[in-house]
Structure 1
Amino acid sequence: MEKNDKDPDLHHDDDHNNDKSKEEEKGDTVSDDVDVDKKENVDGSNAETDHVDPGDNADKVNSPLGQEEAPPEIPQTIESLSEELDQLLASLSLHKEEHKDVTEEEKGEEGNYFQIPQFVGKFLDLFEDKLSKHDTVDPKTTWYQDPEEVSSLLEAVDRVSKLMELLLNTKSCLDHHESLINHAGSIQQRAMAFLEDEFRVLLEESVIKEPAVVTEDQQDHHNDSQDQDNVNNVPEGGDEKIEYPGYSEEMVVLLRKIVERMKGAGYGCECKEAYLVGRRNILMRTLKQECEFEKVSIDEVQKMSWGELETEIPIWNKTVKDCSSLFFPGELKLAEKIFPGDEGSLFNIVTHGLAIQFLGFAEAVAMTRRSTEKLFKILDIYETLRDGFPAIEELFTEELRSELRSEVTSARSRLGETAINIFSDLENSIKSDSSKTPVPGGAVHPLTRYTMNYLKYSCEYKGTLEQVFKSHSKMEEEESTERAFANQLMRIMDLLDGNMEAKSKLYKDIPLSCIFMMNNGRYIVQKIKGSAEIHEVMGDTWCRKRSSELRTYHKNYQRETWGKLLGFLGHEGLMHNNKIVKPNLKERFKSFNATFDEIHKTQTTWVVNDEQLQSELRVSITAVMIPAYRAFMARFGQYLDPGRQTEKYVKYQPEDIEDLIDQLFEGNTSSSSTATAKRRT
C-alpha cells in the first residue's frame, strides 16, 4: 500500500479508475453541466477532481466475485449536501482569491479551471423541490411555524446566493459552467420570488393585534384586571406585551432575516417595495379602525358642509395626536428593526404623504368660508399643529423635517389669520346688529347671550388666542401685540354695551328699559365672574364698574315705578284744619289701588331670569312699600266707615301687597287685568 501510494504512475491509474467508476455509478443523474466538466477532466485538463483512496479500489478488485460491491445507497437531502456545499464554496472562494491577480499569460493554455461537482446540481434540485412544496401549501405561509424549517430554508437561500456570487465573479466558472450558472440563477430567482411573497403575507397577516390608543386611566385598569381578552392577546411562548404595530419579536426577527437574504442576493429593492406597500396599507387600515380616519382631499374639504366638517375635525385631531404619540413612532421602530440602516428612508415613504395630507386638511379648513361658529374647531386644529406636530417632525430625516416645518408654519399662519378674522367678524356683527324690535319683557337679548357665551368659550382658548393674536395679527405697529387679544375682547365688550344701551331706548316704559339693562348687565357680569379666563382679561375694576352701573339702573327703576306709588301714601291733601277730608282719603285709596293693579298687571309680564336679581328686586320693593302702606293703613284706615265702605276702598292688606309683589317678573303673559289676592282677616 505504501508502495502504491508512493508510485506516481499507480496513483495516476487509480485516479483514472476512480473517475471511470464514479461516472458509471452516477450514470444519468449527472447534470449536463457536470457531464461537460467530466469530459474536460478526462481529456487531460489539470482540473481538481474528487479524490478516492486507491486502497478502496483495490479492495473492490480483490472481492471474492472479482466485481465491485455497490455500497448501500444513502438518500441525499439538502441537509446532507449542505456540508459538502459549504466546503466547496470555501474552496471556490479560496481559488478565486488565489487567482485574482493572475494574468492570462500566467494561466497558460489550461487556465485556472475549477470543476464543480455534480452534487451541486442535486442540491439545487432539492431546494427547488422544497420551494415547490411550500408554494403549494394552503394556507401558503406555514413554514415559518417550524423553527427547523426556517433555518433549513434560509440557510439554503444563503448557500445559493453565495454560490451565484462566486460563480459570477470567477472567470473560469463563467467560461466553463454556463449551464450551472443559469440553473442556479433560475433557482435563486424563484427563491427570491418566494421570499418576497412570504414577506408580504407575513407583514400583512402576522399582526397579533392592532391596539387602540390607551389612555392612562385605561392603562391602570388594564394593569389591575387582566380579563380573558387580554390573556388571548398574549403570544404563545411568552407574556411579552405587544404594542403597535403588533408583531411579536420572533416575527420581527424572521422578517429581518428575509430582508437580509433578499438584500444579499441583490433583491433589496423588491423587498423594500413589498414593505412599503404593506405598511402603508396596514397603517391606513389601523387609522380607520382606531380613529375612523379616511383621507379627504382639499377639494372635498372645500365642498363639505359645516356639519360634516364638525364631524371630520375631531377625527383629524385624534388621528394626528395618535400618530404623534403612537403610530408614527411605531412605524419608525419597526423599520429600524427590520431594515436597520435604511429605516429613515422607508419611514419617510410610509408616513410622509400622510403627514402632508394632515397639513393639507388643516389649510383647507382655514380656507373655507368664515363664520363665527368655526372659531373653536379652527383653534383645535391650530393647537394640534402646535402641540402634536413637532414630535412628528422629529421622526423624519433632516430634509423632510425642514419641509414639514415650513408646511406647518404655513398652515398655522393661515389658521391664525382665519381665527383673528373671525373675531373681527364678531365685532362687525355687533356693530351691524341694528334690530328695532325690543325683546319682550326686558329679558336678556339674544345678542348678549350669544356674545357672552362666545367670549366665554373663546377664553377657554385664552393662551392660544393670545399666541394667535401675537403671532399672526396684522394690526397697526403702535398697538401692543402683548395685549392684542385682551384689547380685542375689551372692544367687543364696549360694542356690546353700546348696542344694549341703544336697544334699551326702544322701550317706551322707562322702568322696563331699566329692567332690560339690569337683565343684560347682570348676565354679562355673571358670565365674567363664572370664567376665570375672561375675568382675568376684563379685571376686577371693570367688574366693579359694571356692578355700580347695575345699582344705578336699580335705583332708577325703583324711583320710576314705586316712587310714584309711594306718593299716594303721603299725608299731603288729606287733612284740613286738622281734620281728615274723607273724599280725598277715599280718592287716595282708589288711586293707590288702581296704580298698584296696573303695575302688577304690567310687571308680572316682565322677565327677570336671574334668580338672585329677581329676589333682590322683590326684596327692595317690599322693603319700600310694605312699611309705608302699613303706616298709611294704621293712620288713615280707621277713618273709613267699617263694613261696605272699608271693603270698597281698602282693597289690599299689607300682607296682600307683599304676596302680589312676589308675583312680579315671572313673565306671566296671561295675568288677569286686575290683581287679586286672598284677603286676610
Structure 2
Amino acid sequence: MADNGDAKVIETARHIVKSLGRTDTMTDDMLQILSTFDRRFSREKMAGKQLEEEEEPEAFELEISIQALEQVILSWVARESPIWPESGDFPATFFESIDELQAISENWAPMLSESRAFSSLLDRAETLMQQAMFRLEDEFKLLMETNGEVVDPDWLFESNQKRSSYPTSPSSSEDEEVEGIMVAKPVRDYNFIIDVLPGSVVSKLHEIAKRMVSSGYRKECCHAFSSLRREFLEESILRLGFQKLSIEDVQKMGWEELEPSIVKWVQAMKVSIHVFFPSEKLLCDRVFANLSLSSPCVSLSSPKGYLSSPVSDLCFMEVCRGAMTQLLTFADAVSIGIRSPEKLFKALDMFEAMADLLPEILTMFAGEPFAPLKSDAMAIFRRIGETVRGIFMEFEAAIQRDSARSPVPGGDLHPLTRYVMNYLRFACDYRPSLDRIFAGDFDFPANIQAMADPPFASRTQWVMELLETSLETKAKLYKDQALSSLFLMNNLRYIVKKAQDSEMGLLLGDEWMRKRRAKVRQNHTNFMRNSWGKLLNWLRADSHATRNVNKEWIKERLRGFNGGFEELHRVQRGWAAADEQVREELRISVAEIVVPAYRSFLGRYGVKMEGERHSERYLKYSADGIEGLINELFHGNSGGRKRGVSAG
C-alpha cells in the first residue's frame, strides 16, 4: 500500500511541475524546491518520469496495464488452496488476466527493440507469465493426481466377462492405488475404451493446457501430463501380470518360466492396444484439443468432438512410448532365443497377436513422432515370423536325428509318431499364419490368399515323409517280420486316423491318404502271413497225406498246431494295437482264418482220435476255445511286451 501511495504522490507532483513549468528554467527551479522537501521528488526521478511520459506515453500505458494484472495474478499465485476447487466455479478472473497478459506480450512484442523502457516492461510481463504458468502447472498436476478412473468396476467386468477367453486375474472390486498411483482394474475384454478421468476434470485440464501451450509452455505442460499418465499406464500393464524385463532377463529364463510370461505378454499386448492406448489417446485428444505447436488460445466448442493435434500426438507418444517399448523388447528377446521345437506354439501366439494388432498400431501411431515405434514393431513382427520358421525347421531336423537303437516293445506306437502327429495337428490351428511365414509374407494386408499352393501344405507333406522314413528304419530293428509289420501297421494307422480327424487330411490330400491306407492294409497282410499264416500249415493236408491218413499223422499235426498256437498266443498277448478298433480288427482277422480251419480239421480227423489213449493231449482245444483265446491277444501287457521283444 505504501508503494502505491508513493506512486500517487509522485504522479501528482509530476502533473504540477508539468502544468506550471512553462520554461526549462522554471521547471528546474520547481524541481529544486520540491527535492528539498522530500527525496522522492528528486530532480532525477521527477525529470526522468516526466521525460518518459512525454516521449513514451505508450510505455506509460503498458506499465499501468501490467501493474493491474500483477495485482490479480500474484494474488492467485499466492493461494495455498486449489485455484479450481472440486465444487468451485471457473476462476474467470485469473484465467482472463492470463489471457490479457498473453495478448499484451504478443501485441507489444514488436516494440521490444524500440527502447529500454519497452524491453524492461516486457521482461516484467514475461516474469509475471512465468509465475502464472508455474501455478497452472501445479494445478494441472494436482487435478491429475487426485482424480482416478471412475468407470464402475462391476459394470466393466460384468458387461465384458462372457466375451473373454482369458482366465480372470485376481483383483478387488474397487480401483486400487499402487504406491500412490491410481491404476485401472485389469480387464479381460479387448475392444472398448474407458474414460480414465472424469469429464469435468478433462475440461479443467484443457483450459489449463490451452493457456500453457499458447503461452509457450508446451514442454512443461506435456511433461507434467505424460509423466503422470505414463505411471498410470505402466502400473496398469503391470497389474495384468506382465513384468518389465530386459533382453538379458528374458535370455536367462528357462522355458518353464518363459512360457507363462509369453501368455501374459499376449494378454498385455491385446489389452494395451485395444483398451489402454486408445483410452490414453482419447484423453490426450480431449485435453489438448485443437492445440498445435503454434496455435493461438482457442476455445473448445466443436460439437463434433475432439480433433487430434500435434501437441496431442507428442503427449500421446510420451505417455505410450515406454510401455510400448517394454512390450516390444520382450517380444524381441523371445525372437532371438534358442529355437527349440517346444517353443513353436507360443511363438505363433506372439506372431498372431502382432499380426492382429499391427494394423491398429500403424493406425493409432500415425504421424512422424511415432515412426521409430512403428518401424520397431514391424521389424520385430518379421523377426518373430523368422523365429517360427526356424523353430519348425529345427522340428524337422529333430525327426531326422531321432535314431533309436532299440525297438518299441510289442510293436506299439513309437513316441516319435505320437509327438509328430500331435505337433502337426496343433500346428494346423495356425495354418494361415504358417502359410504366411513360409511364404515370407510380412506385409499388410497379407497376400497369402492368392497363393495356389499354400506353403504349409508342402511342409506338412515333407514332415510326413521324414516320419515315414524314420519309422521304416525303426521297423528293421525287429527280428520278427510279423512284429515289424505290426509296428508299421500300428503307426501308419495312427497317422491316418490323426490326419483324417483334423485339417491335416486337407493339407495332405486324398491321394496321400489313399496310399497310406493301402500301406496299412499291406502291413496287415504281411503280419497275418508271417505269423498266423504259418500256423495254418499244420492244418493243411496234401493229396498224398489225405489218402494215407493215420493217427500218428493226426497227432503230429495237432501237436504242431497246439504248440504253434500256444507260442503265438503267449507272445502276441503282449503285442500292442494302436487302439481298440485295431485290436478288434486284428482279433477278427486271426479268428477268421484260424477258427474255421481248425474246426474243419477237427471235423475231418477228430473222430479218428476217439478212444485213443491220452487223446486230450492232442485234442486240447475246441474251436470255440481257440476263438476265446484269440480274444486275449494284443493286450500289450508288460510281460507279453517283454517276451515279444525277445522273440522279435
- TM bucket (normalised to shorter chain) is 0.7 to 0.9
Give the paired residue count: 553
Question: CA-to-partner distance for each residue in 1:393-414, whole Å, 9 max, x for gaps?
Answer: 2122432454444333322332
Q: SS where residue 147 of structure 1 aligns?
A: coil
Distance of 1:601 and 1:404 partners within structure 2? 70
Query: 1:570-620 deviations in whole A, cap 9, x for unaligned?
Result: 234895756x41122122222211111100100011111311111111111
Between 522-531 and 255-264, the greater mean CA deviation after superposition? 255-264
Deviations 1:509-561 (A, max 9, x none): 111111100111011111111212x2111001101100011111111111111
Pair 577,654 (structure 1): closer, same or farther in 2 beyond 3 Å: closer
- Write the deviation string for residues 367-400 of structure 1: whole angstroms up to 9, x where unpaired: 1111111122222222222220221121224324
Q: Is the 8 A contact 2:595 2:623 kept in 1?
A: yes
Q: 1:202 maps to what in 2?
A: 143
**1:515–1:364 distance in 2 versus 1, CA, 3 Å:** same
Give the CA deviation at 1:635: 2.3
- Which position in structure 1 is the counterpart of 2:200? 250
Distance 1:379 1:210 in 2: 34
For residue 398 of structure 1, the aligned residue among 355, 358, 367 is 367
Contact kept? 1:328, 1:392, Cα under 8 Å:
no
Partner of 1:284: 234
Give the counterpart of 1:156 among 94, 100, 105: 94
- The CA deviation at 1:164 is 7.3
| Equivalent residue for 1:549, pick from 495, 519, 522 | 519
Show the counterpart of 1:603. 572
Q: Does 1:510 align with 2:510?
A: no
Structure 1 contact 167–181 (Cα < 8 Å) conserved: no
Contact 2:212–2:218 (Cα < 8 Å) also in 1:
yes
C-alpha distance in 2 between matches for 1:379 and 1:504: 34
CA spacing shift, 1:108–1:217, aligned 2, 3 Å: closer
Cα-to-partner distance string for 1:281-339 (whole Å, 9 max, x where unaligned): 111011112x2223222222222222222122122222222222222111111111001
What is the match of residue 352 of structure 2?
383
**Aligned partners of 2:611, 2:2: CA distance in 1, in Å?**
143
Paired amino acid for 1:627: P
SS where residue 327 of structure 1 aligns? helix
Alignment-derived partner of residue 540 in structure 1:
510
Counterpart residue type for residue 319 of structure 1:
A
How do residues 443-458 of structure 1 correspond to structure 2 at under 5 angstroms?
443-458=412-427
Three-state SS of the structure 1 residue aligned to 2:243 is: coil
CA distance change for structure 1 residues 177 and 585 in 2, over 3 Å: closer, same or farther?
closer
Give the whole-Å Cα distance in 2 for the aligned partners of 1:254 and 1:174.
38
Query: Residue 340 of structure 2: which of 351, 356, 371 is its match?
Result: 371
Over the residues paired in the alignment, what is the CA RMSD in angstroms?
Answer: 3.8
Q: Structure 1 unaligned runs (5+)?
A: 1-29, 48-103, 135-140, 222-227, 232-241, 474-479, 675-681
Shift of 1:640: 1.7
Structure 2 CA distance for partners of 1:46 and 1:538, relative to 1, 3 Å: farther
Structure 1 partner of 2:460: 489
Aligned equivalent of 1:571: 541
Aligned to 1:218, which of 148, 161, 184? 161
- 1:85-129 deviation line (CA, Å, top 9, x unaligned): xxxxxxxxxxxxxxxxxxx99973583534849987765675456
Say whether the 8 Å CA contact 1:33–1:177 is kept in structure 2. no
Matching of residues 142-541 of structure 1 within 5 Å: 144-148=85-89, 151-152=90-91, 154-159=92-97, 162-163=100-101, 166=104, 191-209=132-150, 218=161, 243-289=193-239, 291-340=240-289, 341=309, 342-471=311-440, 482-532=453-503, 534-541=504-511
Partner-residue secondary structure (3-state), 1:333: helix
Residue of structure 1 in register with 2:530 after alignment: 560
- Decide which of 30, 44, 54 is 1:108's aligned counterpart: 54
Structure with higher RCO (Cα < 8 A, 6+ apart): 2
Q: Is the 8 A contact 1:211 1:246 kept in 2?
A: no
1:641 and 1:472, CA in 2 relative to 1: closer, same or farther beyond 3 A?
A: same
- How far off is 1:273 after superposition? 0.9
CA distance in 1, matches of 2:459, 2:641: 48
Determine what percentage of the aligned residue pairs are the same residue: 35
Change (3 A) 1:407 1:645: same
Structure 2 vs 1, CA of residues 486 and 403 (structure 1 numbering), >3 Å: closer, same or farther?
same
Q: 1:626, 1:211 → 2: CA distance?
A: 76
- Partners of 1:404 and 1:447 in 2: CA distance: 43
Q: Distance in 1 between matches of 2:613 and 2:98?
A: 128
User: Secondary structure at the residue paired with 1:465?
Assistant: helix
| 1:582-661 equivalence runs, <5 A | 582-642=551-611, 645-661=614-630
Taking the aligned partners of 1:653 and 1:538, their CA distance within structure 2 comes to 48
* Pair member with larger Rg: 1
Greater shift, 355-364 or 120-129, is seen at 120-129
SS of the aligned residue for 2:510 comes to helix
The answer on whether the counterparts of 2:98 and 2:132 sit within 8 Å (CA) in structure 1 is no
The verdict on how the C-alpha distance between 1:229 and 1:495 changes in structure 2, with shifts beyond 3 A counting, is: closer
| Alpha-carbon distance in 1 for matches of 2:391, 2:525 | 39
Question: 1:13 corresponds to which residue?
Answer: none
Paired position in structure 2 for 1:665: 634
Three-state SS of the structure 1 residue aligned to 2:399 is helix
* 1:186 positional shift: 7.5
The letter for the 2-side match of 1:204 is E
- How much has 1:277 moved relative to structure 2? 0.3
TM-score by length of 1: 0.73
SS at match of 1:44: helix
